[in-house]
Amino acid sequence: MKAIIPVAGAGTKLRPHSYTQPKALIPLAGKTVLSIIIDQLKEAGITDFVFIVGYLGEKIQDYVKSKYPELTAHYIHQTDRQGVGHAIRLTRNIVNNEEVFVVLGDTICEYDIKEVVASPFSMIGVRKVDDPREFGVAELDEEGTIHHVVEKPQIPKSNMAMVGVYKIRESEQLFQCLETNIRQGLRTHGEYSLTDALDCMIKMGCQFKSFKVESWFDCGKKETLLESNATLLKKFDPVVDTTPFINTVIIPPVSIGTGCNIRNSIIGPNVAIGDNTTIDYSIIKDSIIGSYSNLFDIVLNASVIGSDTNLRGESRSLNIGDNTSIDLG
């Protein structure tokens, strides 16, 4: 079985952070979105990965090679972003006819992955939502068998949203449907969607079962990213060695990367800090701070600060991208 992780998107909803940092590599509860996905798949015994990269793809490659040298990793470049379906079609020569486990690169869910991998059926992760019009939607019967899927319907017939996790046993039929849709120019909302290919497979007679995820963390925009960070910090409960930090109070849960220099500050709760960041005379809570940043005399609440950022002065809530210098004094 091969894992396919599409991470070619530009992350427009997370700008300015995603101009210079792929959204899959933004710090989150002492990890990254991508590392949480990879760790889950490794736990289920999957070691063969296909990463579909594009925007800032070299950073994804460098990260995986450095952090996961034991993986068998393939990299496919999607130079023309035409949707997830188009991206997955590019993996055909690597996948051949193997089973695939697809996880979208901004999707973090809690579920029994070993049970899903062991199932004799193709499976799609779902969760009940209040407004399904912004999601791919699965229509299923009482036994959990999926009879129809549709992408962002205006009049949904189900409130079961697909969360971006798919185990597909019939990869040959998957690629047949993807190629047919692309050849016929069948786009939904301007893109070649994976959802349309899955519905094509269902019409061909492929059986899909649903599995419900326990939690679904949205990492696609600032507000939900901060909520996900707080929830995952409580779940992972990282241990922070406060010895190197002079005259500093740490209020858990907090994650702090390696090489950080923190003095005369109050950090937490619900704060994730990347590597090699310097913080002095500051109060920070409910925030994410990138790597190699320098914060001085600042008050931050519900903020996302990018990497390589210099910030001075007093504020309350900021959303600042990488390579930024601001003096608020």
As for how many domains the chain has, the answer is 2
222, 254, 274 - which closes a domain: 222
Q: How many helices (H) and strands (E) does the chain have?
A: 8, 27
Digit-coded pLDDT (tens) for 187-214: 988 899 999 999 999 999 999 999 999 9
Query: Percent of the chain beyond pLDDT 70?
Result: 91
How far is it between the farthest Cα atoms of the chain?
A: 66
Span between the terminal Cα atoms of the chain, in Å: 55
DSSP structure class, residue 188:
B
Does 187 lie in the same domain as 125? Answer: yes
Least confident of 26-30, 210-214, 259-263, 266-270: 26-30
Same domain, 148 and 88: yes
Q: Of all helices (H) and strands (E), which one includes residue 116?
A: helix 113-118
pLDDT in tens, 85-141: 999 999 999 998 899 999 998 889 999 999 999 999 999 999 999 999 989 999 999
Angle subtended at Cα 85 by Cα 52 and Cα 93, rounded to the nearest 5 degrees: 55
* pLDDT at residue number 326: 46
Asked whether residue 232 is domain-assigned, the answer is: no
Q: Specify if 147 maps to a domain.
A: yes
Q: Half-sphere exposure of residue 19, counting CA atoms within 13 Å on the CB side?
A: 13
By residue count, the chain amounts to 329
Please write down the HEC assignment for all residues of 140-167: ECCCCEEEEEEECCCCCCCCEEEEEEEE
| Confidence bin at 11 (pLDDT 50/70/90) | very low
User: Tell me, what's the pLDDT at 113?
Assistant: 96
Q: Print the domain residue range for 304.
A: 238-328
Co-location of 199 and 288 in the same domain: no
Is there a domain that residue 187 lies in? Answer: yes
Residues 251, 269 contacting (CB under 8 angstroms): yes
Same domain, 198 and 306: no
CB 140 within 8 A of CB 157: no
Check whether residue 170 and residue 48 sit in a common domain.
Answer: yes
CA-closest candidate to residue 68, choices 41, 91, 87: 41
Residues 244, 208, single domain; the answer is no
Between strands 122-128 and 100-103, the pairing is unpaired
Residue written as tokens 């089973």? 99
Give the range among 89-103, 270-284, 299-313 with minimum mean pLDDT: 299-313
| Residue 164: CATH number of its domain | 3.90.550.10
Average pLDDT for 2-30:
70
